[in-house]
Chain A
């Protein structure tokens, strides 16, 4: 029986914008198995990034239950949620969000500052992660000295370095040309297939979604499987 890594039950999320209540997600149910590569697609404003934020523990639901890696996230406070994120989830963003003043190696090392590892161990782990994404030769370079594809690889290395259970990627290829995008997606595929990483990506790009093992469509706060959409 496949182990479930992400489980959402009757999850709803709404925001207050001024006096107006905006329901972004309604009664949403989702299971993602360990080792799955899932792509979340949908039009702008459909709620896919909100869903990704909930899965990654960046936000909490208005109602419903979210269990990720065996932990009920909807029951955690902000401090506990931060600690949980540091060990269980790695994030990749569209614009890489690297620290501009730090070298690639130092950027990758950041999540390890929260661990008990020594400086030598942190450096070794960071170099290993950079090697894994094939960019160890740019370890001493700062983000503005890297191409978009290289910067995104550094961001992926940073997401991986603490060996998280889950990788969540928000439009990871949205700022890249086709060739770089394919390289990054291929890298994610390798991480999923060869290293067993569970990955959830949000993307507008159908070609990017094809790299995933399963495609889900978010529309008006509800989820539809790609198969059911086709049917």
Chain B
């Protein structure tokens, strides 16, 4: 600690340069924090619907290809399967495309039976839902977001499904609300809107009798893998072969429809840090080059080669880690904003932790070459021009 004032003062020897370098590193780590958080969210889908007792069956070749409704009955008969429900991706939004709504057509009995531990819905509202053909249940956060009230008629626009009259707008009566039982699921369910599959299937102009995917609950989670194999075996060599997987894997596969997000994010970060490496490295080299006589004086005073090496590394560490912490703190503050753009995806500040490691690594990479130069400099040569 006794060297801190010296290292700190040295860092601020050229204020403008240090501020600009600090800002560059800070912005890079802000980006790092944001992208890492998003990547983490995509690669670690939250629990809840992804419990160990749940399986999801999709078309073997793509989750965008449908399965015939008849498969549901066949799956129901598979030993070990306790409950089965079916769903289809609606692709909805309210009024404007930025107002994403995770609208799902469901079969109320089987869906709530399968997901009974995930929702809080009052009995009266559940009864109203069951009794109203055009009824919809909206998450309370969604109600609040759009100012909806129970009793409202709300139009949801589907990006895929046209009705028989050619319209992409589907109107629902809000008959109740629901909340997540598990608070960690609150963010994931925040944009959910549930409506009747029957209404959807009858109303759509194409795809009738098909489902997007089928969800199962198994009686014994330890047998989930065997049950999945049994389900897929049912449809081997049929025109609609299936792929049954744990719900967690399905959630990840679903998100990856957007592309290999991890690769894209890492490519962006790679480019940013490659540039940063040169920028910060050049700053450190220039800083040490300018201070050759001062470093020589330190050696004259008795600072050993290792001490001088340590001082330059410490300077690099201080610059990179302080800037990284500021950048990561800003990205932490940006998490609520990201959540607005990525509804249903849970974001964790834990994703920011690797940033500290990256900052330390960056500091060593950019600090080591000038530090070695400082360590090796000859006092006599360094002072020859400035006595």
- List the interface of chain A (C-beta within 8 A of B): 49, 53, 56, 58-59, 78-79, 82-87, 91, 93-95, 97, 99-102, 106, 110-111, 113-114, 119, 122, 158, 170-171, 174
Contacts and interface: CB of A to CB of B under 8 A. Distances in A.
A59 B384 CA distance: 12
Interface stretch (B1-9, B72-80, B145-153): B1-9
B299 A49 contact: no
A97 B3 contact: no
Given A59-B380, A106-B5, A113-B6, A99 B297 contact: yes
Given A58-B380, A106-B5, A106-B9, A111 B294 contact: no
A114 B302 CA distance: 8
Interface string B281-317: 0000000000001100111111111110000000000
A49 B304 CA distance: 22
Q: Indicate the member of B3, B299, B304 with the most A CB atoms within 10 Å.
A: B304
B13 interface: yes
Nearest to B384: A49
Contacts of A53: 380
B9 A85 contact: no
Contact of A101 (B3, B9, B380, B386): B9
A100 B13 contact: yes
Nearest to B2: A113
B304 A82 contact: yes
Given A82-B304, A158-B301, 9 more contacts: A58-B383, A59-B379, A85-B301, A86-B302, A97-B294, A97-B383, A106-B6, A110-B6, A113-B3
A189 B109 CA distance: 102
Contacts of A174: 387
Interface string B318-330: 0000000000000
Contacts of B2: 113, 119, 122
B99 interface: no
B387 A82 contact: no
Contacts of B278: none
Contacts of A91: 300-301
B376 to A, nearest CB: 10
Contacts of B6: 99, 102, 106, 110, 113
Q: Closest 10 A-B residue pairs measured CB to CB?
A: A86-B302, A82-B304, A101-B9, A94-B387, A97-B297, A85-B302, A101-B13, A111-B301, A58-B379, A59-B380
Contacts of A59: 379-380
Contacts of A113: 2-3, 6
Contact of A58 (B293, B300, B303): B300
A82 B305 contact: yes
Nearest to B304: A82
B301 A86 contact: yes
Given A79-B304, A99-B294, A102-B6, A93 B387 contact: yes
Contacts of A170: 387
Nearest to A171: B387
Interface in B315-357: none
A110 B305 CA distance: 16
B305 A49 contact: no
A111 B380 contact: no
Nearest to A90: B301
